[in-house]
Amino acid sequence: MNLKVSSFDEYKQVYKQSVEQPEQFWDGIAENFLWRKKWDKTLEWNFKEPNVKWFQGGKLNITENCLDRHLETLGDTPAIIWEPNDPSEDHRILTYRQLFDKVCQFANVLKNNNVKKGDRICIYMPMVPELAIAILACARIGAIHSVVFGGFSAQSIADRIQDADCSLVITCDGAFRGAKDIPLKNVIDDALVTCPSVKKVIVLTRTRTPVAMLKGRDVWWEDEIKKVETQRNTTCEPEEMDAEDMLFILYTSGSTGKPKGVVHTCGGYMVYAGYTFANTFQYEPGEVYFCTADIGWITGHSYIVYGPLSQGATSLMFEGIPTFPNAGRFWDIVAKFKVNILYTAPTAIRSLMSFGDSFVEGKDLSSLKKLGTVGEPINEEAWHWYDEKVGHGKCPIVDTWWQTENGGHMITPIAGITPTKPGYAMLPLPGIQPVLVDEKGEVIEGNGVSGNLCIRFPWPGMIRTTYGDHERCRQAYFATYPDMYFTGDGCLRDEDGYYRITGRVDDVLNVSGHRIGTAEVENAINMHSSVVESAVVGYPHDIKGQGVYAFVVSPNVHGNEDLTRKDIIMTVSRIIGAIAKPDKIQFVSGLPKTRSGKIMRRILRKIAEGETSNLGDTSTLLDPGVVEEIKSGAL
């Protein structure tokens, strides 16, 4: 079976087949990949435990699909184009052969440092080619990578290292991000104080920031590469992996304070990342594809590294931010490398819109053929600006809906094939069976309806477990509605049957496309010495989509509210990272609670959104008067 559909009629026909005979459908898709041994059984599943296994008995190594199989035909084709943070620094291009050589070389470095199949490796690096090399080197030898976004604090990294029991960390001396230098190695040093499992730290030179190097633990990337060169270890045989062996852990926020490690496996994830990349973007050989995400998130895993490389694509990696040195940076990159496909976040689009049109006008964007968005639903105004100013009305926009736990796109237009509508994720990809359910879990049939979005049948790229805590996986995704995967999102299906995601229905915020659990932010705020308790909700934010609004009980504000606000923001940045810091902090004398002590976040959400006229029944509250006080002090 072809990996891609080529017309709307074919989409409808293939979709029907994928629902009627799902196993046969996925067999056909999986045959487009390189397997050392074909699977014995396509699928075994139940959503009660949950227990999902794809392509059982199949043997493979994902890096053979991303590298080895392209060498003969695409050896001299660019695999990764890297654009640095500073436009005056030289860019780098790695062909498939060069990338293959570097991955084998670094895989041998890992082996020299006693890394074995099944070991967990924490990677905390900026957006440099060596980040992709490190990920692929882990996969090559069967080590499990856990990439942590470069904006997280030492405490957040320590939590993740401890949870996964990592034995080795790969990092850099520092990172460049816009006008800032970020001291990554110092942050790692702080994190490792409480991480006895880590025996080795490999440090890449990037910023030449002075760093502490501990004898016996810390080694330089460059020195380790030299050792491999003197040993003449030029190749590294790929470890044979079972389809259900673990490939990576990626931590995501949940509705409790502790981040949860989403586990993806080798076979199903490979098939799904490659299938969705090829289909959604209708990738054609030779096209230059630019995903602006950070590899620290799932988008970078699936759509900078594994998806594009499995399809022999040219993937552009950018170290910097969209507004440095000015708000025309993305458009300069598109013009410089003749980018054909641009995949970015609504937050970035809204931010660039706010600088006016002068930075995009006059830029050569004629190479663009397809545009995409990811991270959150795109609002109509941003969609039209993207369409008119960037795509010049000739590029289809794919507004992709999916999650860390999904591995790849779920509901999305297929570029140039299926219809698009501003702000709509539109239709499910073949192989995906979405349903809307009401609060009782009854399926809502027909069109012109809305409900909670669930998926009723497994797909190869789905979460298998949360690392070290399977019960948490069951509770978070499979316990709310029997025999369904619950996404945590609300959804509208319009009169034409097109899907529009309406936002989270649980206690998770979507800030600039990053999922942040309210409980996690509250825990961090509550650690500030003057705070008694807090409640965090989301509110509409012009740039970020959702802002973080904190209601804080702090009787000893010491007469200087502004200073206390700054202290609280600093506390959150230190414990979680700057991405989670509150946009608004309102000091209150108490929180609206039921008599059983539950905080009524529904009321706080409405106050934060400015909808104070209809707060519903407050008579059941322990102290209804507190609501009036909060309302009158709203920011």
The domain total for the chain is 2
Structural domain includes residue 82: no
pLDDT digits (tens, 9 = 90+) for 466-524: 999 999 999 999 999 999 999 999 999 999 999 999 888 877 888 888 888 887 898 89
* CB of 49 closer than 8 Å to CB of 474: yes
Structural domain includes residue 145: yes
- For the chain, give the number of residues: 635
Report phi then psi at 320, rounded to 5.
-95, -155
Structural domain includes residue 41: no
pLDDT digits (tens, 9 = 90+) for 33-49: 999 999 999 999 999 99
DSSP H or E stretch at residue 201: strand 200-204
DSSP 115-176: --TT-EEEEE--SSHHHHHHHHHHHHHTPEEEE--TTB-HHHHHHHHHHHT-SEEEEES-EE
Structural domain includes residue 168: yes
Point out the domain boundary residue: 239, 263, 287.
239
Average per-residue pLDDT for the chain = 94
- The predicted pLDDT at position 556 comes to 78
- The predicted pLDDT at position 513 comes to 82
- The predicted pLDDT at position 596 comes to 64
Domain CATH number, residue 570? 3.30.300.30
Q: Highest mean pLDDT range out of 370-379, 400-409, 596-605?
A: 400-409
Residue with tokens 């999902």: 52
Structural domain includes residue 34: no
Average of per-residue pLDDT across 84-94: 98
Measured CA to CA, the distance from residue 444 to residue 296 in angstroms comes to 36
Quick one: pLDDT band at residue 232, thresholds 50, 70, 90?
confident
Quick one: pLDDT band at residue 595, thresholds 50, 70, 90?
low
- The predicted pLDDT at position 620 comes to 64
Burial class (CB in 10 A: 0-12, 13-18, 19+), 329: buried
Measured CA to CA, the distance from residue 195 to residue 492 in angstroms comes to 45
Structural domain includes residue 360: no
Point out the domain boundary residue: 206, 239, 272.
239
- The predicted pLDDT at position 558 comes to 64
Measured CA to CA, the distance from residue 431 to residue 429 in angstroms comes to 6
Point out the domain boundary residue: 172, 205, 239.
239
Domain CATH number, residue 121? 3.40.50.980
Structural domain includes residue 545: yes
DSSP H or E stretch at residue 370: strand 370-373
Structural domain includes residue 583: yes
Measured CA to CA, the distance from residue 553 to residue 538 in angstroms comes to 18
Segment 527-531 long-range contacts (CB within 8 Å, at least 24 positions apart) = 527/571, 527/575, 528/554, 528/567, 528/568, 528/571, 530/554, 530/555, 530/556, 530/557, 530/558, 530/564, 530/567, 531/568
- The predicted pLDDT at position 256 comes to 61
- The predicted pLDDT at position 339 comes to 98
The residue range of the domain holding 167 is 88-239
- The predicted pLDDT at position 221 comes to 98
- pTM of the model as a whole: 0.90
